[in-house]
Amino acid sequence: MSAATIPEIITIALAKSFADHEVGFTGLVTGAAAMLYGTSIPLAAMMFAKLTHAPNLTILLAGWSHNPDLASLAALPDQEFDSTLLDLPCEAQTVRYPGQFSFKRGHVDFGFSSGVQLDVTGSLNSVVIGDHARPKVRLVGPILQPEHMTIFRREYVMLPHHTARVLVEKVDYVSGVGYPGGLAGRAALGIPEGGPEWVVTPECIFDFDKEAGRIRLRSIHREERRGELAGVTGFALPDLEDAPATPEPTAEELDLLRRVVDPRGLLLGRAPEH
């Protein structure tokens, strides 16, 4: 069997962090790289978890299709309300607001979000680059990010590009709040719960010293990239030397992922030689 790809390594690492009975919320993100990190890897990870240690996990695809039967799809739709999804076999569909679950009661255990900037406190920006009144670049807006980062019980920030322009010391606009001032700082803002758990990039996984309110390197996907990481990251990496490798999936895990979860490579693409 060929070696694990980076998306496969990330998928297995994410899957192992989900607990049974949890509810995971994913949007349907468009664009190749964004879709891979925002939708496909999260879906593959949740499906893998359901087949292994978390059979009662609920997948909320696009926030509305519960536990969809993705294996029946010929291609992943690229719109959240594509009629393909309407006909996709599933357990429940949420077609009105409020629906079967309540965001504000914390019914979503974890979600996945992205942005164009993420800073050392874990705050995320998808609104503007530059000044808010006269922005250099106006982006889409906060969408559901404020909710993802507060009333979801934890959040995985999925960044398809690891560059110094994305991973910055301080974001230009906070659309999703991290840990400014640590957990005490969050509590003082009236947000005693939720927040980013991991930040996942093609290079590495970050987590947080939540007390201190500071991002830290959790693991690196490829040893040969360790020397390059500081150059592509916009903030200091004091723990660069000590960070372990992201665990390599076992042969059994890769087999389950490739043969059962994603037999046609719809989600993660086909691994070479597979």
Partner 1 sequence: MASASFLPPRRTIPFPDRKVVTMAEAASLVPDGARVAIGGFANYQRPMAFVRELVRQRRRDLTVVGTVSGIEVDMLAGAGALKKVETSYVGLEKYGLARNIRRRNEAGTVEIVDYPEVLSFDRFRASRENLTFWPSAYLGGTDILTHNPDIKAFDCPLTGRKLYAVPPADPEVVVIHAGAADEAGNVLWPSRRLMPQELDLDTAQSAEMVIVTVEKIVSNQFVRRNPTLNMLPAYRTAAIVEAPCGAHPTPTLGRFVIDDAHMQAYVAASASDEAFDAYLDEWVRGTADHAAYLEKLGAAHVMRLQEIATI
In the complex, the residues that contact partner 1 under the rule CB under 8 A are 21, 23, 56, 58, 66, 69, 89-93, 95, 98, 100-102, 104-107, 151, 153, 187-194
CA dist 110 and 102 (Å) reads 14
Q: Which is nearer to partner 1, 190 or 227 (CB)?
A: 190
Q: Which CA distances in Å does 245 have to 17, 26, 222, 260? A: 16, 26, 7, 26
Shortest Å distance, C-beta 91 to partner 1? 6
Min. distance of Cβ 23 from partner 1 in angstroms? 5
74-83 CB contacts, 8 Å cutoff, 24+ apart: 75/266, 76/35, 76/39, 76/40, 76/266, 76/267, 77/28, 78/28, 78/30, 78/35, 79/28, 79/30, 80/27, 80/28
In the complex, the smallest distance separating the C-beta of residue 64 from partner 1, rounded to whole angstroms, is 10
DSSP H stretches of helix in 63-207: 83-87, 145-148, 182-188
- Least separation, in Å, of the C-beta of 72 and partner 1? 11
Least distance between partner 1 and beta carbon 4 (Å): 31
Q: Pick between residue 180 and residue 202 the one whose CB is nearest to partner 1.
A: 180
State both tokens at 141.
């807006």
Distance CA(134)–CA(56), nearest Å, equals 48
Cβ at position 90, least distance to partner 1 in Å: 5
Q: Which of 267, 248, 131, 125 is nearest to 196 (CA)?
A: 125
99 or 247: CB nearest partner 1: 99
The CA-based angle 70-205-142, given to 5 degrees, is 70
CA dist list (Å): 21 to 24, 50, 138: 10, 10, 39
Nearer to partner 1, 143 or 191 (CB): 191
Cβ proximity to partner 1: between 87 and 241 the closer is 87
Complex with partner 1: residue 20 or 209, whichever CB lies closer:
20
